[in-house]
């Protein structure tokens, strides 16, 4: 059975607060990173390809993250809890 993630291509995402704290990233660009998922890939589609809004290498930089490290922005502008 294929696993379903709440995060899908087109979703607006950020790194979760819990992930940033676990990494010790309390300052810098990582806790402020926001972007849009452009694709899911990998075994079980657990990896997200993300076009970041603001990145040290410039806006629109593509990067990736495991979906467990991300939070999705809901239509009302809130950040959904990690699942």
**Predicted confidence (pLDDT) per residue in 11-53, tens digit:** 999 999 888 888 888 888 888 889 999 999 988 889 999 999 9
Q: Is residue 5 part of a domain?
A: no
Please check whether residue 6 lies inside any domain of the structure: no
In a domain, 81, yes or no: no
pLDDT interval class at 69 (50, 70, 90): very high
* CATH number where 35 lies: 2.30.30
* pLDDT given for residue 56 in this prediction: 76
pLDDT at 3: 45
Residue (of 39, 45, 60) closest to 1 by Cα position: 45
User: Within 13 Å, how many C-alpha atoms sit on residue 5's CB side?
Assistant: 22
CA 30 to the chain's CA centroid: 11
Give me the mean pLDDT over the 54-65 stretch.
Answer: 84
pTM of the complete model: 0.82
- Per the domain annotation, does 20 fall within a domain? yes
DSSP 28-74: SSGGG-EEEEEEEESGGG-EEEEEESS-TT-TT-EEEEEGGGEEEBP
Domain count, the chain: 1
Domain hosting 35: range is 12-72
């Amino acid at each position: 059975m294929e696993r379903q993630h709440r995060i899908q291509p087109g979703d607006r995402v950020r790194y979760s607060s819990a992930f940033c704290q676990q990494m010790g990233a309390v300052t810098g660009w990582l806790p402020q990173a926001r972007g849009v998922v452009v694709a899911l890939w990998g075994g079980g589609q657990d990896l997200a390809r993300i076009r970041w809004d603001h990145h040290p290498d410039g806006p629109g930089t593509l990067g990736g993250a495991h979906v467990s490290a991300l939070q999705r922005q809901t239509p009302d502008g809130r950040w959904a809890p990690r699942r």
